[in-house]
Amino acid sequence: MPQHSSIFSHSSILPIMFQTTLRSFSRASSRFASTLVVAEHNGETLTGGTLSAITAASKIGGDITVLVSGSNTASIAKEAAAVQGVKAVLHADAAQFDHAIAEELSSLVVTIQKGSNFSHIVAPSSNISKNFLPRVGAALDVAPFTDVLSVVDENTFQRPLYAGNAIATVTSSDSVKLLTVRPTGFEKAATTGGTGAVSAAPAAPAANLTRFVSEETSSSERPDLTAARVVVSGGRGLKSGENFALLNTLADKLKGAVGASRAAVDAGFVPNELQIGQTGKVVAPELYIAVGISGAIQHLAGMKDSKTIVAINKDAEAPIFQVADYGLVEDLFKAVPELTEKI
Amino acid sequence: MKVLVAVKRVVDYAVKVRVTPTGVDLNNVKMSMNPFCEIAVEEAIRLKEKKVATEVVAVSIGPKQAQETLRTALAMGADRGIHIETDVRLDQDLQPLAVAKLLAKVVESEKPDFVVLGKQSIDSDAAQTGAFLAGLLNYPQATFASKLDIADKKALITRETDAGVETLESSLPLVLTADLRLNQPRYATLPNIMKAKKKPIESKPIADYGVDITPRIQTIRVAEPTARKAGITVPDVATLVEKLKNEAAVI
């Protein structure tokens, strides 16, 4: 076993103070760390997840370079350069990188890595990063860490297993560490204070394996689900898509986002990008209101780190009540309108 | 067209796992086929029913009991099975990179036109194997797929993104990973379960493949997540609003 992990394995039995000392010792040794953060954006601005990934990179230590890719992204590259802690920005301004096609994005990241030898490559956990990062891993013969929840030191991370029912502390001796990080595990980096210099990314060979045809995104006036301070979520108990209007009204009043359980998505009440859980999005808002949701293991995996959880369900035995700070056993069709009115 | 589908035996999705310092207790726990793999098998069989595919080969890596998982795939409609036998822990010690390298060997010998996997296994939750495999083979990939059409040696795939869905076009051969919404897997009927017993499963020790399966990621320890403090039941909406305003201070 490599030396760093044997140091760490002792730390579990050491008092907190020693752990901190050990941790800062390994931080100090991280002066050779250099991290590439692969940014995600919506065509106009960096995603909140990218800002969280930059925070994760700063916890690793060392210089942070951000990669911004896609056509007409000069303003986003500039925005990235201003983020607290960012030293440099690589800008790959080409249509080849639009729509984050895995084959093209991995070709770009591999080209950059072969020239720059970063010690870490970090991306926010998302369908984009889970799509391209293993492909980078295949090219570099490196195993990525998926959904990192916290950085213990530059070689050691925590990640969930079994729908978040077990947390593993993991390490690897690969020369470069590839990580996707859970945005809910890290604060967003400040968008000012950075002094990054923007330069053009090296040209990467086009893969030309997959052609983008079209996309359909559901536009919504409400805040982004993963970034919202309040999330109101509905399950099978809502009975129909029309009844989600009740939740929309409540969410609007709380300036929150609307989410759903898998049951509500599978029943066609709402589109799948609203799904919260092991196979959907992971949220950790200040307030999570679960309405007509039983609280299956797979759903809890996506919301149990919320600060305050409220459950409204007419079944007093529903497992959701075991994680709820405030439970109300009542018919949602009566309770939700009343709650909307009283807030 | 030949289809290869990879299936994994995991702890059943409904089981509440018991955490030990070295992992999750797998003794006397109900095991099943990973739900995303079931969807992958179903999609492969539908391709056969649409006469797009001529043969569906299911492959699984794992202990002797992985053969039960393969039998399930055969009972659903796969034609034959390949079992790569190993006793290492599938949730921690047999990792996606090693699995992808083994599957790449199977692809080399079987030469399928289409490879389908689940998007992630519900034990290690890595969501890596499919994209790894596509990368190793330099095939196009379609992960998190919710719809698939194959015609004229081309595939049209709808995949789930963070903001909605997108449609991609790829040539074959292709590696696809199945999302939940790709299809509704069928139940194996009793006659099909009986028939599946006669279908061939070729079993080979993992060592025969010449792939280094040493875990690249080492687990230092496994712990339960921090438990949430027990909450309270409020009698009515008015009390709930009062608590949210004054006690939790979140509204």
* pTM of the entire predicted model: 0.92
In a domain, B94, yes or no: yes
Within-domain flag for B251: no
Domains, chain A, in order of start with CATH, read 34-200 (3.40.50.620), 230-342 (3.40.50.1220)
Give me the half-sphere count of Cα atoms (radius 13 Å) on the Cβ side of residue B176: 35
Q: Which helix (H) or strand (E) holds B245?
A: none
Give the side-chain half-sphere CA count within 13 A for A291. 28
Q: Is B82 inside a domain boundary?
A: yes
Closest among A144, A155, A172 to B128, alpha carbons compared? A144
Determine whether A314 is exposed, middle or buried from the number of CB atoms within 10 Å of its CB (0-12, 13-18, 19+): middle
- pLDDT the model gives residue A88: 98
**Residue A339 φ/ψ, nearest 5 degrees:** -65, -45
Measured in residues, chain B has a length of 251
CB contact under 8 A, B217 and A170: yes
How large is the C-alpha radius of gyration of chain B?
21
Poorest-confidence range of A15-24, A118-127, B114-123?
A15-24
Lowest mean pLDDT among A208-217, A221-230, A309-318, B108-117: A221-230
CATH number at residue B45: 3.40.50.620
Q: Amino acid identity, residue A66?
A: V
Distance of CA A129 to the CA centre of its chain: 10
What is the complex's ipTM, to 2 decimals? 0.95
Residue B118 in domain = yes
* Spatial separation of the C-alpha atoms in residues B120 and A161, rounded to whole Å: 12
Nearest to B118 by CA among B63, B55, B185, B173: B185
The domain total for chain B is 1
pLDDT the model gives residue A24: 43
Whether the pLDDT of residue B125 is over 80: the answer is yes
For residue B55, give how far its alpha carbon lies from the nearest alpha carbon of chain A (Å): 25
The answer to whether position B231 is within a domain reads: no
A15, pLDDT greater than 80: no
Residue B238 lies in a domain: no
Of the candidates B130, B232, B241, the beta carbon closest to that of A342 is on B241
Q: DSSP assignment, residue A201?
A: P
Band (A10; pLDDT cuts 50, 70, 90): very low
Q: What is the pLDDT of residues A238-272, one digit of tens each?
A: 999 999 999 999 999 999 999 999 999 999 999 99
CB atoms near residue B48 (< 10 Å) = 17
DSSP-derived 3-state class of residue B233: strand
Measured CA to CA, the distance from residue A262 to residue A279 in angstroms comes to: 9
Residue B18's domain spans which residues?
2-224
Measured between beta carbons, the chain A residues lying within 8 angstroms of B251 are 230, 254, 287, 343
Q: What is the CA radius of gyration of chain A?
A: 21
Q: Which residues of A touch B16 (CB under 8 A)?
A: 165, 297
Residue with structure tokens 């199977």? B106
Contact A294, A324 (CB under 8 A): no
Q: Is B181 inside a domain boundary? A: yes
Cβ pair B237:A339 closer than 8 A: yes
Predicted local distance difference test score (pLDDT) of residue B15: 94
Per-residue pLDDT at B39:
98
Q: Is A284 exposed, middle or buried (0-12, 13-18, 19+ CB in 10 A)?
A: middle
Do strands A63-69 and A150-153 pair parallel, antiparallel, or not at all (unpaired)?
unpaired
Residue identified by tokens 């992808």 is B100
Instruction: Provide the pLDDT confidence category of residue A222 given band limits of 50, 70 and 90.
Output: confident
